Copies of this chain bind each other. A is one copy, B any other.
Amino acid sequence: MPQHSVTMADVAKAAGVSRTAVSFVLNQRTDVNIPDATRERINVVARELGYRPNAAARTLASKKSAWFGLVTEIATSPFASGVIKGAQQAAWQDGRFLLIAPSDDEPGMESLAVEKLLEQQIGGLVIAASWHREITVPENAMSVPCVLVNCFDADQRFPSIVPDEVGGGYTATDILLKSGHTNIGHITLTPGIPAQTGREIGMKKALAEAGITQPASNIVAGDGTADSGFQGTRELLELPDPPTAIFCGNDRIAMGAYDAIKESGLRVGTDISIVGFDDQEILAPHLRPRLTTIALPFEEMGTAGVSLLNQMAEGAPIDNRQITIGCPPRIRSSVAVPGRR
């Protein structure tokens, strides 16, 4: 095990060439004339000596670093891990590294995190949120190409990647319509957030296209918790003409809906169909019956963010438009043709 600090100079000496030659060979530069025999010799010597490039030296000399920064709340969100994974993969494929910095905890943390990342000579920055919302981007983020993921800034100074909430809401509703439901309830997320407004708009769009008009009471406000799903479902079931299907603003709401339905002596799927939203990995596939839901494309958003960053880093024209990524359905067992009551 070599005591690591084998440098290019060491390799050069051992191979009997200059360190310039070593640099050329190890970086696989083809625009320079070095015969294969020499290349081979240098490569062999490098391997034998256990040469390992020093990223700091490389960054310093080339004035460009191999990494991007990712600022996110790691805190409470299993969500974030999807974005991180997607971003990580995209970065890796381009031979880049992802420096992850936390934006939670204390206020002002975000700006500090960005500052620290900039010190590391990052070539680009992704700012990700754990839930779709508007954010204020710290000023210093301007010094480097920057992409927002699962969030956006008020005046669209940065390109952003967000889930297609409207499309998702449409899809969810469409699944129910296609199954024959014509009386569909909806329990919303916390009113006002983009996910809530988007999903509801999508639902209404689907209903409108199907030529269905429903009473306003078919939509009840929730807050994203299972409890609100439980309460909301009770309200819907007590309606004079109760819906045969419920589109729940998220999976946790759906979880509460399951309980309310079961307590009413009805069966989920058979008597009342349910569609969720988010496709939470440790939840949706484990409910009984397994929950049909709409997935949030976290990984895809992370990937798209880094890809966009790559383009920007390579000098592609910056287009501040918002890019939406589709929310695909996950068909499982909680939807059936309308039951009778």
* A93-135 near B? 1/0 per residue, CB < 8 Å: 0000111111001000000000110111100000000000000
The answer on a CB contact under 8 Å between B281 and A76 is: yes
Contact B121 A56 (CB under 8 A): yes
Residue among A55, A99, A143 facing the most chain B CB atoms (10 A cut-off): A55
Chain B residue numbers with a CB within 8 Å of A84 are: 74, 100
A154 interface contact, C-beta 8 A: no
A247 at the interface (CB under 8 A from B): no
Binary CB contact string for chain A from 195 to 212 against chain B (1 if under 8 A, 0 otherwise): 000000000000000000
A283 within 8 A of B: yes
| B85 x A74 contact (CB < 8 A) | yes
Once the chains are docked, how many angstroms separate the CA of A216 from the CA of B100?
A: 49
- Spot the interface stretch: A9-17, A20-28, A251-259, A322-330: A251-259
The yes or no answer to A4 lying at the interface (CB within 8 A) is yes
Check if B282 sits within 8 Å of A230, measured CB to CB. no
Flag if A286 contacts B256 (CB, 8 Å): yes
A75 touches B80 (CB 8 A): no
Task: Say if the beta carbon of A191 comes within 8 Å of chain B.
Answer: no
A102 to B259, alpha carbons, bound, how many Å? 38
What is the bound-complex CA distance between A282 and B53, given in angstroms?
A: 43
How many copies the complex holds: the figure is 2
Q: With an 8 A cutoff between CB atoms, is A225 at the interface?
A: yes
Looking at A98, A105, A282, which has the most chain B CB atoms within 10 Å of its CB?
A: A282
- Residue of B4, B252, B287 touching A143 (CB-CB under 8 A): B4
A29 is an interface residue with CB less than 8 A from chain B:
no
Decide yes or no whether A244 CB sits under 8 A from chain B.
Answer: no
- Report the bound CA distance from A256 to B77 in whole Å: 24
Task: Tell whether, in the assembled complex, residue B119 and residue A54 are in contact, meaning their CB atoms are under 8 Å apart.
Answer: yes
> Cβ of B52 and Cβ of A255 under 8 Å apart?
no
B contact residues around A116 at 8 Å (CB):
97
- Cα–Cα distance between A262 and B259 once the two chains are bound (Å): 10
Chain B residue numbers with a CB within 8 Å of A280 are: 282
Chain B residues lying within 8 Å of A288, measured Cβ to Cβ, are: 226, 230, 256, 259
Q: Contact at B81–A121, with CB atoms within 8 Å? A: no
Tell me, yes or no, whether A239 is within 8 Å of chain B by CB: no
A32: chain B residues within 8 A (beta carbon): none
In the complex, how many angstroms separate the beta carbon of A295 from the nearest chain B beta carbon?
14
Residues B56 and A60 in contact, CB atoms below 8 Å apart: yes
* CB-defined contacts of A102 to chain B, threshold 8 Å: 85, 88-89, 92
Beta-carbon contact of B225 and A52 below 8 Å? no
B-side contacts of A182, CB under 8 Å: none
| In the complex, A38 has a CB within 8 A of chain B | no
List B contacts of A4 (CB < 8 A).
118, 143
Beyond the given A88-B102, A226-B286, please list 17 additional residue pairs across the A-B interface where CB-CB is below 8 A: A1-B143, A52-B118, A52-B119, A55-B56, A56-B120, A57-B60, A74-B81, A74-B84, A89-B102, A89-B105, A92-B102, A97-B99, A97-B101, A99-B99, A259-B288, A282-B283, A283-B283
Sorted nearest first, the 4 A-B pairs with minimum C-beta distance are A78-B78, A226-B286, A56-B59, A56-B60
Would you mind naming 26 contact pairs between A and B with Cβ atoms under 8 Å apart? Answer: A54-B60, A56-B57, A56-B59, A56-B60, A56-B65, A56-B121, A57-B60, A60-B60, A75-B85, A77-B81, A78-B78, A78-B281, A85-B102, A88-B102, A89-B105, A97-B101, A97-B116, A98-B100, A226-B287, A226-B288, A230-B288, A255-B286, A255-B287, A256-B288, A262-B262, A282-B283
